[in-house]
Chains A and B, each alone.
Chain A
């Protein structure tokens, strides 16, 4: 019977299935960071257990690390303790690789996994972080897990799972200039809603997806979780293989040839059955801007803030009204008339080299608007930062009035010092616009790097399709 990519990944990892369909699924790669691992290591210790396979673990500190003044260390004592706890656990238990605070290769866990070639096609990849779906861009079965599951994977190298449904999101046609993978992701969420992918593993396919770089595919899979799906994935093709060649942890020599031959099979068979199918015409996708407090509250940049009075469903209407109050927006305001206080380019959604190149191209030779209090670029990893500096992108950003920071999660979730003040409005390339996500009372609009960069220059949103 023809199988989907997800069916193949699932079948090749089942160790054991119970009668009710509960399966023990083998885990190949376990990514670890400081926030969701301390309680798991503590649990192991209390139970007198050891990690099952240390060489499956790749770890870094990213959520709490500062993005300025690295020579002064981590000032917040509670954050420091969490990072030091990870250091101590790494010393005690070990890992295949650990990129601690201050290491050149440190960075956001979902940026460094692929960058190091620690994420390979056909793997199961887990991490105590919902945006683990990012790694599905490499035809992996990758998803976020809770801390109890982190401990479970450490102790058993397996996860207790029920098979999800197969969902296909097919996007066909060429993307217009200025329309990116981020806009595709937001358009998909706008169409199916934040619960649209619940209990499904989503495969992104179609000619628009094939045409995306690995960076773009990662952006798309990253946002699958915001559509409620646990996992997003893209089939293997030449783009995947070209990206992996020569990465530090990628196979070499004879293993490389064997691996590539196997990876080529990681595609959905013709005629494979999906439980749900959603189709989008790429030509209709315009640059997207979220206006509310959920990623599904999104419209095109040339549209207006929606009017709750036109919404018939009472729960939805109330949600819209609440969001507009929180966001300090009036219905029917033109999106291009929304003025901003801060701009954040970063996060595991959009902080890779390609994102920084695209943003830099928008701002080269221009100045950040005087009304913008802070515009910052936070590279996804130390290696992305170094690459950008080799290309002179840091100078482009600095000369335009952007701050150029050290890598980390930063203002994506504002666990470190980078945050919005109450009432501040931010164009952000991250993935969540929830209340308080970027700082208590802060107002987040999710956009692509190009849109964020242009908004910094103009001081308000602008349609990048017309940017000169």
Chain B
């Protein structure tokens, strides 16, 4: 997994609440057996005016000029500003894969759906929860200033504007922060406890043998 320490990037605003993972990556793209290549189909139904299918040449498809990611000022954005309950619905990890493949490294919203939130960390994507007032303020800033950038400082847990006027602290639990900062794979960390898992399992097998075999 790629490490996440400091990020300075363009912010793209997606001004809708309850954006679900079907919208982030529609189901027809879930047929892939790979983990990569989902970026061109991120928000497919909103981004293009035709109906997307796997195997199409996305470069030739008609773009929806009104969709935020198609606007020149948000080109190269790596931070997505969103509204409440972002990532609700299906547990598909293809959603963070698509966001990451597109180039996003951080998401900022008033709340995230639970499974999606979890899935982000497993893919080097940092979801940041800020209160509604802060989010409204950031939406105003982004709309007012083309090329608006933010810096995300994970070690200090701060979101900073380029002029230093905005400095917002955010929460992230210690375990997840540690994994992001060091690009650590959870499996390796868990297997450190392999002996404990085996002991637990042996006890369980004795107490509830019907769960085994």
Contact = CB atoms under 8 A, between A and B. Distances in A.
B56 interface: no
B196 A16 contact: yes
B190 A144 contact: no
Nearest to A164: B114
Contacts of A316: 17
Interface in B103-130: 111, 113-115, 118-119, 122-123
Interface string A151-185: 11001111010100000000000000000000000
Contacts of B210: 120, 250-251, 255-256, 258-259
B191 interface: yes
Contact of A194 (B54, B88, B122): B88
B200 A15 contact: yes
B186 to A, nearest CB: 6
B185 to A, nearest CB: 8
A149 B186 CA distance: 9
Contact of B27 (A122, A230, A315, A415): A415
B22 A436 contact: yes
Contacts of B212: 55
B165 interface: no
A152 to B, nearest CB: 5
B45 interface: yes
Main secondary structure on chain A at its contact with chain B?
loop
B175 A20 contact: yes
Given A146-B91, A194-B18, A436-B22, A156 B197 contact: yes
Interface stretch (B30-38, B70-78, B144-152): B30-38
Contacts of B189: 160
Contacts, number: 184
Contacts of B115: 130, 143-146, 230
Interface stretch (B2-10, B59-67, B201-209): B201-209
Contacts of A144: 91, 115
B173 interface: yes
A148 to B, nearest CB: 4
Given A130-B115, A145-B115, A22 B175 contact: yes
Contacts of B209: 255
B193 interface: yes
Interface in A40-92: 42, 47, 49, 52-53, 55, 63-64, 76, 78-79, 81-82, 85
Nearest to A41: B33
Interface in A238-271: 250-251, 255-256, 258-259, 262
Q: Bin chain A's interface residue count.
A: 35 or more
Contacts of A413: 22, 27, 90
B27 A228 contact: no
A147 to B, nearest CB: 4
B40 interface: no
Contacts of B89: 130, 432, 434
A147 B200 CA distance: 25
Q: Which of B16, B26, B84, B209 has the most C-beta atoms of chain A within 10 angstroms of its own C-beta? A: B26
* 6 nearest A-B residue pairs (beta carbon): A251-B210, A148-B122, A146-B93, A38-B33, A146-B119, A144-B91
Interface of B: 16-18, 20, 22-23, 26-28, 30-35, 45, 51, 54-55, 83-85, 88-93, 96, 111, 113-115, 118-119, 122-123, 173-175, 186-187, 189-191, 193-194, 196-197, 200-201, 204, 208-213
6 contacts: A16-B193, A78-B31, A160-B175, A198-B114, A255-B209, A415-B28
Interface of A: 15-16, 18-22, 24, 26, 28, 35-36, 38-39, 42, 47, 49, 52-53, 55, 63-64, 76, 78-79, 81-82, 85, 120, 122-123, 128-130, 143-149, 151-152, 155-158, 160, 162, 194-195, 198-199, 228, 230, 250-251, 255-256, 258-259, 262, 294, 315-316, 318-319, 322, 413-415, 422, 432, 434-437, 440-441
